[in-house]
Structure 1
Amino acid sequence: MNFILYSDVNDNSIGQSLGRPEYSYYFVLKAYRPLLESLGRVHVVSTVAEVDPLYRRLLAAGEDSVFLSFAPPQKTPADLHCPTMCVVAWEFDSIPDEQWDNDPRQDWTQMLARQGRVITLSSHTARAIRRAMGEDFPVLVLPTALWEKFSDIRQAHVPTSINAGATLAIKGCIFDSRELDLSADALIPAPLTPEEEAALAAEIEAARPPPLTLKRRFVIARHYLRLWALDLGRDLAEPVPRVKYLQNWYWEGVRDRVPDNLHAWLEQRLPAICGAQPILVSEPPPLDLPATDRIVETRVDGVVYVSVFNPKDGRKNWHQLITAFCWAFREQPDATLVVKITQNDLALYYSELMTLLAQLSPFACRVVVMHGYLDDAQYAELYKAATFYVNASRCEGLCLPLMEFMSSGKPVIAPAHTAMEDYIDESVAFVVRSSEELTIWPQDTRIIYRTLRYRPDWGSLKSAYENSYRMATAHPQDYQRMSAAAIERMHDYCAFAPLQTRLADFFAVAPKAADIEPVLDNASC
């Protein structure tokens, strides 16, 4: 059996793709690859155009093939000769079963019916598909095989409830709440002194245009006539429409003399000249952001909470994650929240983050935000430094970081909804209560309510922080039991051998002997 794999994000583009809606499919492909290699030959293509030529060559050699598209159904080609199947990460209670924008691909039921079967990452997604496609539709639930990846960390590191001290390094920048001089007062502009008010008034007055005297109107008309004449003799790459000069002359030179009723009449008949001019909005001044091209480090200790997310991903509910932490530990200096950001562009969230932290100040606990690239060794130190991992999401397709920290022996704070219901309960986590809420399918351009996600309870999240801290500081033996339970849960959930058997049964092929190459990438799928 030959498995042809494709993801829109690949090894060459992943560095620039962090934060894109489907970038996590790249990590799922890499995690699936050892499983698939244990059943047959794997071919990773860089474009969809390579699929059918490869399929025909293998078919001519008498070999069967299947194309696995690591993309949602609407982005999976429907016109290939090669048998095609989607690997779907989905976090809502229903799948799109109608089309929009005159695009039948948006109706997943049509796309999946054409393919005939599908692979999903969670039981939650499988139920949503079967509700739309029927209970007999072939669906394989296959989380990524992560267990073996963390064997070295489990052997070299015994999780402890209180971190005696660990150094975290990253290529990028680090924001530490204890070094930011946070103050809510800084969010309110200081009142102007009388001298400043006078200076501002003088500046405004100086910026006023000169009065529109008859001579001034003549100068304006001559200016735009001259520009029009100059353009007649030039060969411009992008010619300026001549009517633009008439429009500028009208609004700057004579509009104030035209009665409103006459202007309305002219606007209807000569909209290109007398129509309203667009309002120009000045660009805000650039942010003074730190450099992100060097290795920086910080040291953390005490009870350390870790979370990994993209601030521009609306599912992650990160405002509540941070506010509940700061409110729970306003007077606990030994509680630290380390946030690893999976978003390339610091400017997209910097102001929002700093405003939130300033609104919460003062607080005795510590918030450390890491922006940039962590290599494998640096990620390993983050796994070891954590006391707990925190997830406060509204919905999840799988949540690889949560599984990774649990595989490292870290208990967690998390809801038990969507994909997380497969492996989160009270024995391994401080479970955050949540309730259903209406939402949209994220790709639906109509922005209409068609599905459900979850609303985590802020009070429950705050209590989970407090209860976990109490266990870490006062009941370390309970922490060790929960740590061991997390390790056992992940062994049962995402070890290689049972997932290999599940995959082999689905494709009706026999496993072959193969070395397991652990996947060393991280994502927030």
Structure 2
Amino acid sequence: MNFILYSDVNDRSISLSLGRPEYSYYFVLKAYRPVLESLGRVHVVESTTEIDPLYRQLQLNGEESLFLSFTPPHKTPTHLQCPTICVVAWEFDSVPNESWDNDPQQDWSRTLTRHGRVITLSSHTAQAVRNALGEDFPVLVLPTPLWETFAEVRNQFANVPINPGTTLQTKGCIIDSRVLGLSADGLIAPIVTEPELEPAQPSAPAEPEIVNEAPPLTWCRRLFIVKHYLRQTYREAFRDLLPERLRTLIASLRPERPVVAEPVADAVVEVVVEAPPPQDLHPQACFPQTTELVETRVDGVIYVSVFNPDDGRKNWHQLITAFCWAMRDVEDATLVLKMTQSDLSTYYVEMLTLLSQLSPFACRVVVMHGYLDDQQFARLYGAASFYVNASRCEGLCLPLMEFMACAKPVIAPAHTAMQDYIDDRVAFIVESSQEPAVWPQDTRILFRTLRHRPDWGSLKTAYQNSYRMAKEQPARYQAMSVAASERMRDYCSFTAVQKRLTGFFESAQASEPTPASIAAVAGTASC
């Protein structure tokens, strides 16, 4: 059997694709590849136009082929001669079963029916497909095999609840709340403290109380505050309701940093001396350099989260505010945030504003922006006491699974894809409830599906309970740590995934999965 694989993101474009919706599909393809290579030959193509010529060439040699598309169904061709299966990561409770913009391929039920079967990364996605196409539609639930990948990390780093000290490095920059000099005075007008008055003499008449009013807000300060809250409201309330194309357009409107032209040699330059402009009480943010290798040392009870701050589903404002509120009097608690976003300007001011609003707090927040190689990521895995997820919905959540494979207990909700592997044996569960949502690519912005709303109080309590366990119950921490590793071994080890995949392909070969013969294949896949 030959497996032809395609993803919009490849090895050459991955560094430029941070934050794109297709970004995670690249890592799923890489994780699946070793398992597929154990079952046949693997061919990775860079364009869908290469698929059918390769299929016909292999067919002439008497070899069978199957195309696995690591792209969403609306971007997967339906006209190919080569048999096609979509690998789908989906986090909502229903798949698109309508079309819009005169594009019938936006209707996933139509595309998947033409393919005749589908591979999903979670049972949550599988049920959403069955809800649209019927309980008999052939669906394979296949998480990415990654447990063996982290064997070296498990052996290299001792798994302890309180970290004695680890140095973290990245090629980029590190935002550390301990060295920022955070103050809410940077956001609002300072209040002049009233001087203490000397006690009045008994014989003297009582003087009227003197009240010094705060100076009025300048237009500059007003504009700064309004711009911050408008941006925050857009990110938290409206961005996920906009279609992907419109979000991309809005992002493209961000002003770029000015480019200063180099002076031309031997050119006569007229120098005009102007009066310096008035100093802005709230000047534009000066972004730190992101090209140098930087490092910081962390210790104590360390919480880690990896996410794209430009993804509204990640709910990162609550993740930070709940931590700072739960640990505001705790000096040895640290939250390390690894950002999977290449553009620092998309969140830098917003992050500093949020931390300033929360100050003062004794705990520590460390934001790592930049590239981490394998060894630097291994240090991050080893440094963590807990991994934290506060998402509104997940199609799989590879970082969460990776830290669990490194034997790290977690704080996370048990909804969408996470319900396959999260329970109270491995996690402090964050409660949540459902709320209306739109399909991300739906340009009509219509409520057609549901996502989840994590409870902030439950998240804060999870931080407090996990910290208490780390400090006072090391045996319970170790039991949860072992349970997390064992859960990933059973859920996403190479052998477990290979067995599921083999059974699915054997059943498909026994009965060609066309729309007319779907019922003959139904129920044979290991889900």
Q: TM-score range by the shorter chain?
A: 0.7 to 0.9
Q: Distance in 2 between matches of 1:342 and 1:140?
A: 29
1:412 paired residue among 407, 410, 419: 410
The residue that corresponds to 1:82 in the other structure is: 82
Q: Distance in 2 between matches of 1:487 and 1:4?
A: 32
Q: Distance in 1 between matches of 2:158 and 2:191?
A: 55
Q: Distance in 1 between matches of 2:40 and 2:377?
A: 31
Q: SS at the partner of 2:10?
A: coil
The residue that corresponds to 1:124 in the other structure is: 124
Q: Distance in 2 between matches of 1:120 and 1:368?
A: 34
The residue that corresponds to 1:15 in the other structure is: 15
**Is structure 2 residue 303 aligned with structure 1 residue 298?**
no
Amino acid at match of 2:26: Y
The residue that corresponds to 1:55 in the other structure is: 55
Amino acid at match of 1:168: L
Q: Distance in 1 between matches of 2:490 and 2:165?
A: 31
Question: Any conservation in 2 of the 1:287–1:347 contact (CA below 8 Å)?
Answer: no
2:449 paired residue among 445, 448, 451: 451
Question: Any conservation in 2 of the 1:88–1:121 contact (CA below 8 Å)?
Answer: yes
The residue that corresponds to 2:400 in the other structure is: 402
Deviation at 1:158, TM superposition (A): 2.5
Q: SS at the partner of 1:315?
A: helix
Amino acid at match of 1:19: G
Structure index of larger Rg: 1
Deviation at 1:287, TM superposition (A): 3.7
1:429 paired residue among 410, 421, 427: 427
Alignment of 1:54-73 (within 5 A): 54-73=54-73
Q: Distance in 1 between matches of 2:487 and 2:6?
A: 30
Change in CA separation of 1:445 and 1:423 when aligned onto 2, cut-off 3 Å: same
Deviations 1:93-149 (A, max 9, x none): 000000011100000010000000000000000000001001110101000001100
How many residues are treated as equivalent by the alignment?
Answer: 423
The residue that corresponds to 2:40 in the other structure is: 40
1:364 paired residue among 362, 365, 370: 362
**Is structure 2 residue 461 aligned with structure 1 residue 463?**
yes
Q: Distance in 2 between matches of 1:495 and 1:109?
A: 31
**Is structure 2 residue 157 aligned with structure 1 residue 157?**
yes
Q: Distance in 2 between matches of 1:476 and 1:287?
A: 43
Q: Distance in 2 between matches of 1:117 and 1:292?
A: 45
Alignment of 1:142-153 (within 5 A): 142-153=142-153
The residue that corresponds to 1:516 in the other structure is: none
Task: Give the TM-score normalised by structure 1.
Answer: 0.79
The residue that corresponds to 2:254 in the other structure is: none
1:383 paired residue among 381, 390, 409: 381
1:314 paired residue among 287, 312, 324: 312
Q: Distance in 2 between matches of 1:423 and 1:290?
A: 39
Amino acid at match of 1:447: I
Deviation at 1:59, TM superposition (A): 0.5
* RMSD across aligned positions (CA): 1.8
Q: Distance in 1 between matches of 2:313 and 2:190?
A: 36
Task: Give the TM-score normalised by structure 2.
Answer: 0.78
Q: Distance in 1 between matches of 2:107 and 2:3?
A: 26
Q: SS at the partner of 1:98?
A: coil
The residue that corresponds to 1:503 in the other structure is: 501
Amino acid at match of 2:178: R
Deviation at 1:434, TM superposition (A): 0.4
Alignment of 1:121-520 (within 5 A): 121-189=121-189, 287-508=285-506
Question: Any conservation in 2 of the 1:154–1:408 contact (CA below 8 Å)?
Answer: yes
Q: SS at the partner of 1:305?
A: strand
Q: SS at the partner of 1:498?
A: helix
Amino acid at match of 1:49: T
The residue that corresponds to 1:518 in the other structure is: none
Q: Distance in 2 between matches of 1:325 and 1:285?
A: 29
Q: Distance in 2 between matches of 1:45 and 1:472?
A: 47
Q: SS at the partner of 2:312?
A: coil
How high is the sequence identity, in percent, across the aligned residues? 70
- 5+ residue gaps, structure 1: 201-283, 511-525
Q: Distance in 2 between matches of 1:494 and 1:374?
A: 24
Q: Distance in 1 between matches of 2:81 and 2:160?
A: 54
Runs of 4+ in structure 1 over 4 Å off = 189-192
Q: SS at the partner of 1:20?
A: coil
Amino acid at match of 1:167: T
Question: Any conservation in 2 of the 1:435–1:455 contact (CA below 8 Å)?
Answer: yes
- 5+ residue gaps, structure 2: 193-214, 220-281, 509-527
Q: Distance in 2 between matches of 1:395 and 1:3?
A: 30
Q: Distance in 2 between matches of 1:285 and 1:300?
A: 31
Change in CA separation of 1:470 and 1:191 when aligned onto 2, cut-off 3 Å: closer
Q: Distance in 1 between matches of 2:11 and 2:283?
A: 35
Amino acid at match of 2:288: P
